[in-house]
Amino acid sequence: MKSQINWGFIGCGHVVETKSGMAFNNVKNSAIHAIMRRNINVARDSAIKLNANKWYDNIRDLLSDNKVDAIYIATPPGLHYEQALECCHANKPVYIEKPFTRNYDEAVKIVKCFEQKNIPLFVAHYRRALPRFIKIKNIIDNGEIGNVMGIDFQLFRKYSKKDTVAKWLYDPVLSGGGKFYDIAPHAIDIIIFLFGDIVEVQGYATNNNTNYLVEDFVVMSFKTKNNVLGTANFNLLANEKKDRMVVYGDNGKLEFSIHDNDQIIITKERQQTILEIMSPPLIEQPMVETVVKELTGVGKCPCTGREALPTVKVMDLVLSDYYNGRNDAFWDRPTTWKFGKEK
């Protein structure tokens, strides 16, 4: 086991520079060593911002750097598959951003490659490591609202034409889907984290905007292995912003947001308990800390590549009817994945 993890970044856009990147320097026994971006000058600028020692414009040179102990992949999902396999073949542990991949088949192949070579692979479902969601899980697991019977989740986001400036996000070859595919993994993974694997799901998706072809309104219904029933609505063309999950137990109700720092509200017999638990400024830092601890042999990360597979499977099934049979930039998604033990 290494006592210090020196990271190489593949991709380093605005979100990494301003939100997640510095977490790798802030965590004990962790430091950013090198940045790889397609443009060497841009890579150098990012390296300076994140206090990295080296910068490269291709993966081969990054992976050949003997000082790089592990890789953070933060590129669009359409690039994850080939990049992750290159890292695997170079025997480098990987922490990969969500969405994990464009589809379940790609995710399974990545996981198998890393498992066959016994190389650690982690996925950035970082809400699992946040104190806010650890507390919510404790509330549910301790039976504070009784036996959970149902879940209702709504996520609304406003749209403006300037959103399409991030062209990759609206190109399923690079993104895997639309804005839904980018944002929904957070909610789906938390549902699985809190209530167990989803064993049945039915989804419907539509497009309501001529500026792009990807889905922008998605509804799904599901059942977890614990017989919890739920619905989730994702409206990416709303005239308001909304983020609310309501959990119904036979002895109370729990309400919270997935993406915001809204109050956590427990309601029982007309009495409310309100909790204020804020996420840290660098929201990925607690998760990065768990990755570093596992790589240095003193802890465990709550989301390995295998543990991330159920979320990708659900995404595939929810969007399968929408994407299958299209003749443009889309591709067919399997509709026959079986729930249960992952491949």
CATH 3.40.50.720 range(s) for the chain read 5-126+285-302
Do the strands 264-268 and 252-256 form a parallel or antiparallel pair, or are they unpaired? Answer: antiparallel
Q: What does the block give as tokens for 53?
A: 């020692």
Domain with CATH 3.30.360.10 in the chain: 128-281+311-323
Pick the CATH number of 5-126+285-302 from 2.40.50.140, 3.50.50.100, 3.40.718.10, 3.40.50.720: 3.40.50.720
Query: Pairing mode, if any, of strands 5-10 and 94-96?
Result: unpaired
The predicted-structure confidence for 67-124, as pLDDT tens digits, reads as follows 999 999 999 999 999 999 999 999 999 999 999 999 999 999 999 999 999 999 999 9
Work out the angle at residue 89's Cα, subtended by the Cα atoms of residues 85 and 92, and round it to the nearest 5 degrees: 90
Confidence (pLDDT) at 332: 54
Q: Residue 108 has what pLDDT?
A: 96
Please tell me whether the overall predicted TM-score, pTM, comes out greater than 0.85 for this model: yes
In the predicted model, residues of the chain with pLDDT beneath 70 are: 164-165, 325-343
C-alpha count within 13 angstroms, C-beta hemisphere, residue 2: 20
As given in the structure block, the two tokens for residue 117 are: 């070579």
For residue 54, what are the CA distances in angstroms to 72, 74, 75, 97? 15, 17, 19, 22
CATH number for the domain formed by residue range(s) 128-281+311-323 = 3.30.360.10
